[in-house]
């Protein structure tokens, strides 16, 4: 129905006509609203899933990030620990999910003296979300000289 035809109808005739024949509500408008709602749902779904770590084998950087947390747990004053950003040496056996990460840390010892120490963490990835400590089995942690 055209808008000019709508104007010529009486009040009773306008009330008896269904919404789908109303000139102000068009099919294109309804489809546009449905498309916008679907688009928003997809965008929010994708952004939410991008924060979830996929169930895959961790990269060397991800293993380094986990190893830094393990080393911090072994320090007496973990809040003073300073790790290099990307200076580490990984040895990765992806067939067996074994990771050995070597790097350095600068931290205060018990006497309050800043010590530079080298550390090595041997760990096994057991599966699941790589950012969870429960997904890793620590085989050994070696820090020398001993900062504690």
- pLDDT tens digit string along 84-126? 878 899 999 988 999 999 999 998 888 888 888 999 999 999 9
Rounded to an integer, what distance in angstroms lies between the CA atom of residue 5 and that of residue 22?
10
Q: Does pLDDT of 56 surpass 90? A: no
Q: How many Å separate Cα 24 from the centre of its chain?
A: 45
Q: SS3 helix, strand, coil % of the chain, rounded to 5?
A: 40, 25, 35
Q: Does pLDDT of 12 surpass 70? A: yes
Q: What is the pLDDT of residue 138?
A: 94
Q: What is the pTM of this model?
A: 0.60
């Amino acid at each position: 129905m055209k808008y000019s035809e709508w104007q010529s109808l009486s009040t009773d005739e306008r009330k008896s006509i269904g919404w789908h024949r109303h000139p102000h509500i068009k099919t294109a408008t309804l489809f546009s609203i449905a498309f916008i709602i679907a688009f928003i749902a997809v965008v929010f779904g994708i952004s939410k899933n991008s924060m979830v770590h996929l169930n895959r084998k961790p990269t060397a950087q991800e293993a380094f990030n986990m190893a830094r947390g393990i080393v911090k747990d072994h320090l007496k004053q973990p809040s003073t620990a300073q790790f290099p950003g990307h200076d580490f040496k990984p040895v990765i056996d992806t067939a067996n999910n074994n990771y050995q990460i070597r790097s350095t840390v600068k931290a205060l010892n018990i006497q309050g003296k800043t010590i530079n120490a080298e550390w090595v963490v041997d760990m096994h990835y057991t599966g699941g979300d790589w950012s969870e400590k429960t997904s890793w089995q620590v085989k050994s942690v070696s820090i020398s000289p001993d900062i504690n």
